[in-house]
Amino acid sequence: MGKATLSLADDISGLTSELCRAVGLSHSTNAAEEYADLVREMLGPGGDRPIGQPPAWPSDVADDHTPVEFSLAVDRAGRPAVRLLLETLGEGTSIEANVCAAQELLPRLAERYGFSLAAFDAVADLFLPKHPQGRFAWWWSVVLRLGLPPAFKIYFNPEVRGRAVAGELVEAGLDRLGFGGAYPNLRRRLRPGDELDRYSFFSIDLHTQPDPRVKVYLSHHDGDLAQLLRTAGAARQVEEEQIREFTAIAGGHRGRFTGRPLISSLSFLAGDTDRASGFSVYLPVRDYAEDDEVALARAHALLAGHGLDRALLDRALTVLARRPLNEGVGLIPHLSLRTGRPHTGLTVYLSAESYAVTPPRPESLAS
């Protein structure tokens, strides 16, 4: 089947099963097929559209509007996980249609995998208004690990009712889920106004445990290491030196990030009253590297610095890289570091590039 007639669902589900095999997550053919079928189902009706046609919905998940972004996460023990950030595509071409399709899917997944909807029910009315604003309202994360059932997370858009009330939604969401005391500590670490440090995502884990994790993500426009460390102070057990080293290597030893913003997240677990348990930083390396060869070299350096096997990433790229690395930028869009609880590790994000490839960036712009 040629690319002109290959559907988005066929493309992404095939890559998913191949990627899981490449990094050792598919212990059987059945597991690989299960993952592929799950992704096909989660893409929704819009997944049937051929990728030879322009995307019907301009999803903001990836630069070329592919509604999926892969990532390879490796913890300190070297155990890999394949993750997908995914937007369900509805029958129409609107945020409302996508939300409707996701809402229809949610109870089926909950019944099949046995997770609770209590956290979702507690905050859904905050983040799913009748007329959502912004570029999205509901994204999913699917985490695939060896020997475990898929794990799910929902990402909500704090600016779905407008940027001016994003903080109020985050505060209300944290309060409803038992973390209201942490919001003042977070808020005072941000720069004044609502332009530089913006709430990007509010996420909830869909787990079988009674107390799922909650995460708050922030985009730090025109940010630097100092702002990252200031925000990190809203969490416990943050390893500042690791954040310094990660930012220097992943960002090419720059001071201020004036392109796509640095992103941080705070992870809230049961018992967190005034501060979060974990802190992560996400660096959009595609804006600060000439091409994907440079981005890969930085990812290799980070993995080596943490004593992790870079061969896992190389095997993943044999599946996803459909062109020479020096002929584009964005196949590796983000690099991230997790510190604190529940676990630490590195993540390399990987694009499917189902629709388009971003040309290499001139060295003068990347630096």
pLDDT of 219 over the 60 cut: yes
Identify the bridge partners of residue 279 per DSSP, sorted by sequence position. Answer: 266, 339
**Total-model pTM:** 0.95
pLDDT at 234: 95
- When divided into structural domains, the chain yields a total of 1
| Better pLDDT: 33 or 257 | 257
pLDDT band at residue 365 using 50, 70 and 90 as cut-offs: low
What confidence score (pLDDT) does residue 153 get?
97
> Could you tell me if residue 208 is inside a domain?
yes
**Residue 63 belongs to domain spanning:** 8-366
The pLDDT of residue 4? 67
Is-cis flag, bond preceding 342, omega within 30? yes
pLDDT digits (tens, 9 = 90+) for 268-327: 998 898 999 999 999 999 999 999 999 999 999 999 998 998 999 999 999 999 999 999
- Where residue 79 falls among pLDDT bands split at 50, 70, 90? confident
Is 210 a member of any domain? yes
Q: Are 152 and 37 in contact (CB under 8 A)?
A: no
Q: How confident is the model at residue 366 (pLDDT cuts 50, 70, 90)?
A: low
Instruction: Give the list of residues 6+ apart from residue 331 with CB closer than 8 angstroms, or none.
Output: 292, 295, 317, 320, 321, 325, 350, 351, 353, 357
What percent of the chain stands above pLDDT 70? 96
Answer whether 14's CB lies under 8 Å from 36's CB: yes
CA-closest candidate to residue 267, choices 255, 278, 256, 275:
278
DSSP lists the bridge partners of residue 151 as 143
Residue 117 burial (CB < 10 Å; 0-12/13-18/19+)? middle
Q: Is the residue at 129 inside a domain?
A: yes
Structural contact between residues 17 and 32, judged by C-beta atoms closer than 8 angstroms: yes
Distance of CA 41 to the CA centre of its chain: 19
Q: Which residues pair with 81 in a beta bridge?
A: 73
CB contact set of 108 (below 8 Å; sequence gap of 6+): none
For residue 232, give the amino acid letter: A
In the predicted model, is pLDDT for residue 210 greater than 70?
Answer: no
- Asked, for residue 2, whether it belongs to a domain, the answer is no
pLDDT above 80 for 27: no
Q: What percent of the chain has pLDDT over 90?
A: 82
**Which band of pLDDT confidence, cut at 50, 70 and 90, is reported for residue 5?**
confident
pLDDT of residue 77: 80
Q: Which helix (H) or strand (E) holds 273?
A: none
Confidence (pLDDT) at 66: 98
Q: What is the mean pLDDT of the chain?
A: 93
Query: Considering the domain boundaries, does residue 107 fall inside one?
Result: yes
**pLDDT above 90 for 332:** yes
The model's confidence at residue 48, banded by pLDDT at 50, 70 and 90, is very high
Q: pLDDT band at 3, cuts 50/70/90?
A: low
Question: What mean pLDDT comes out for the span 38-52?
Answer: 96
Structure-token pair, residue 76: 């300190």
